[in-house]
Amino acid sequence: MSLIQTISDVNNTFLSRRELTCDFPGLSGKLKSMEAVDMVTKEFKLDGKVVVPMRLKTHVGMSKVTGIFYVYEDEVLAKKHINPTIISRLEKTKAKIAEAEKAAEAPVEEAAAEAPVEEAAAEAPVEEKTE
């Protein structure tokens, strides 16, 4: 992962949220919104909070991305304040990621289930019939 540079960190008490603006140097064209959310969550230790990526802006002629994130304590409050279109896009993206992880785990489990059968067949002594 690359280094995250904090531009501003404002606690908006009126809207009960924290507003983060961060730079991601060297990640233009490579950074996805959910990856940016994971990076910000790990960097600022925001486990258990709702982090919503509002904007990821790539700068012309530079290889940096500036992201604006809203951090809420409560998911209900986040859904109240943020446009429902943004929330639905985030939920669709999370669902696709979950499906991809399940699909990646399924072949591993099938291979693990088949492996003992193959090993048992290879280890079993071969009996020759004599008539």
Retrieve residue 32's tokens: 């996805």
pLDDT computed for residue 18 by the predictor: 95
Contact (Cβ atoms closer than 8 angstroms) between residue 54 and residue 71:
no
Q: What is the largest CA-CA distance in the chain?
A: 92
pLDDT in tens, 18-27: 999 999 998 8
Neighbours of 116 (CB within 10 A): 9
CA-wise closest residue to 27 among 54, 48, 3, 10:
3
CA-wise closest residue to 59 among 83, 31, 85:
31
pLDDT in tens, 96-109: 888 988 888 877 66
For residues 72 and 19, what is the distance between their CA atoms, to the nearest angstrom?
9
Quote the DSSP letter at residue 10: E
67 pLDDT band (50/70/90 cuts)?
A: very high
Listing DSSP states for 61-75 in one string gives TSSEEEEEEEEES-H
pLDDT computed for residue 1 by the predictor: 47
- This prediction has a pTM of 0.74
